[in-house]
């Protein structure tokens, strides 16, 4: 019963098989191989437009480098105050931009709101020399609360960004989970809604270590080969990234994995609610945020289950845990089984 995160599991079988196949024999280095070329072509097909795609090994590198491509050192990136880019990357975006400022914006359920974004952007007028210049917004899809933006919500935020001459970045560490929840197309959730650059995450969804920075306006990517190389993310044996990406897209493995992870989270949330727990957000993807009695938490831990206690700062006042309760985050993965989900809920019910 490991619900600590969707990166607690290893790589999925088709990815490992693809790695073994790509491993045999020599191939050109630094991404000049046929797997990487195929991956780039496949991404243009998946997104229904010619994209400039660059493979990297971590989500943090993907986010930081993407922001570095759209934000100058004197710029500002506007994101949710709990966004991974501002809270969990040890200043990588600040480093990759050469010192830009990240500005956190409040919003319920991990989501930026048009009003919240517009009010914050209004405090950063262009041309005011004493102030950093608004350059980009960053949206997490899915969000850090397990919620998603609809294409219309993305488009509304992108329109505000445009009005303030900002580019739109999407942190898609859980892109596939959001996509299958919405049932829309990858294009509909990105460039058609105004996204300029996407961090396309695959590691949490079954890859060993593979993410892609995808530019929908290839002109934005002109300096990117140099930026990626300087950051140490141009892999010498680049074919091993290309092979993972192709394996994830083959037969829609990425979508099947995401559907499974989401379904397991929904089953878990349902089980917990039926057992008397509370769950503040709707669990639109593969994460469940739950408020449990301390005795249930103790019973779960005694049974060897793993998950994180979560900060309740962002919960609405009336949802906050009481003195005898805990607030936790549970994440299901492509490898989560119904049995472990049901066992977890049964322990809560019994407690």
Q: What is the closest distance, in whole angstroms, from the C-beta atom of residue 204 to ligand PLP in the complex?
A: 6
CB closer to ligand PLP, 48 vs 153: 153
- Mark the segment that binds ligand PLP (CB under 6 A) among 59-67, 123-131, 222-230, 236-244: 59-67
- Mark the segment that binds ligand PLP (CB under 6 A) among 58-66, 223-231, 262-270, 343-351: 58-66
Do 307 and 267 touch, CB atoms closer than 8 A? no
Most distant CA pair in the chain, distance: 62
Do 79 and 161 touch, CB atoms closer than 8 A? no
Q: Which residues pair with 75 in a beta bridge?
A: 133
- CA dist 296 → 137, 218, 267, 290 (Å): 40, 52, 18, 12
* CA–CA dist 276, 297 (Å, integer): 13
Residue 203 within binding range of ligand PLP, rule CB under 6 A: yes
Q: What is the closest distance, in whole angstroms, from the C-beta atom of residue 100 to ligand PLP in the complex?
A: 18
Q: Is 75 helix (H, G, I), strand (E, B) or coil?
A: strand
Q: Which residues pair with 2 in a beta bridge?
A: 306
Angle at 256 between CA 53 and CA 309, to 5 degrees: 90
* Contact pattern from residue 271 through residue 310 relative to ligand PLP, giving x for each residue in contact according to CB under 6 A and a dash for the rest: ----------------------------------------
Q: What is the closest distance, in whole angstroms, from the C-beta atom of residue 313 to ligand PLP in the complex?
A: 17
Do 109 and 144 touch, CB atoms closer than 8 A? no
Residue 58 within binding range of ligand PLP, rule CB under 6 A: yes
Place of tokens 């609610």: 273
Residue 138 within binding range of ligand PLP, rule CB under 6 A: no
Cis (ω within 30 of 0) for the bond into 142?
A: yes
Residue 173 within binding range of ligand PLP, rule CB under 6 A: yes
**236-275 residues near ligand PLP, rule: CB under 6 A:** none
CB closer to ligand PLP, 148 vs 173: 173
Residue 81 within binding range of ligand PLP, rule CB under 6 A: no
Residues in the interface with ligand PLP (CB under 6 A) total 11
Burial class (CB in 10 A: 0-12, 13-18, 19+), 121: buried
* Residue selected from 33, 40, 81, 144 as contacting ligand PLP according to rule CB under 6 A: 144
* Residue selected from 11, 19, 54, 60 as contacting ligand PLP according to rule CB under 6 A: 60
Residues that bind ligand PLP (CB under 6 A): 58-60, 63, 84, 140, 144, 171, 173, 203-204
């Amino acid at each position: 019963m490991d619900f600590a995160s969707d990166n607690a599991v290893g790589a999925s079988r088709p990815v490992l098989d693809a790695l073994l196949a790509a491993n045999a024999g020599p191939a050109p280095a630094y991404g000049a191989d046929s797997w990487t070329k195929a991956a780039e072509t496949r991404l243009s097909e998946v997104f229904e437009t010619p994209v400039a795609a660059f493979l990297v090994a971590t989500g943090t590198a993907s986010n930081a480098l993407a922001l570095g491509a759209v934000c100058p050192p004197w710029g500002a990136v506007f994101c949710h105050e709990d966004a991974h880019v501002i809270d969990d990357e040890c200043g990588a975006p600040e480093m990759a931009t050469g010192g830009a400022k990240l500005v956190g914006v409040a919003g319920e359920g991990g989501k930026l709101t048009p009003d919240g974004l517009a009010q914050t952007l209004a405090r950063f007028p262009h041309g005011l020399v004493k102030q950093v210049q608004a350059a980009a917004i960053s949206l997490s899809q899915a969000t850090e609360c397990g919620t998603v933006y609809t294409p219309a919500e993305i488009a509304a935020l992108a329109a505000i960004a445009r009005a303030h001459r900002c580019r739109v970045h999407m942190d898609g560490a859980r892109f596939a989970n959001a996509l299958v929840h919405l049932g829309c197309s990858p294009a509909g959730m990105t460039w058609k809604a105004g996204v300029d650059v996407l961090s396309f995450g695959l590691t949490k969804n079954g890859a060993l270590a593979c993410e892609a920075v995808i530019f929908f306006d290839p002109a934005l990517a002109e300096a990117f080969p140099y930026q990626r190389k300087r950051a140490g993310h141009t892999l010498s044996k680049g074919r091993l990234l290309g092979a993972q990406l192709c394996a994830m897209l083959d037969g829609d493995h990425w979508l099947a994995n995401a559907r499974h992870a989401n379904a397991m989270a929904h089953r878990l949330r349902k089980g917990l609610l039926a057992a008397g727990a509370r769950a503040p957000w709707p669990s639109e993807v593969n994460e469940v945020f739950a408020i449990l009695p301390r005795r249930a938490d103790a019973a779960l831990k005694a049974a060897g289950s793993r998950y994180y206690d979560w900060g309740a700062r962002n919960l609405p006042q009336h949802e906050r845990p009481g003195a005898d309760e805990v607030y936790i985050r549970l994440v299901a993965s492509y490898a989560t089984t119904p049995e472990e989900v049901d066992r977890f809920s049964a322990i809560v019910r019994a407690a």
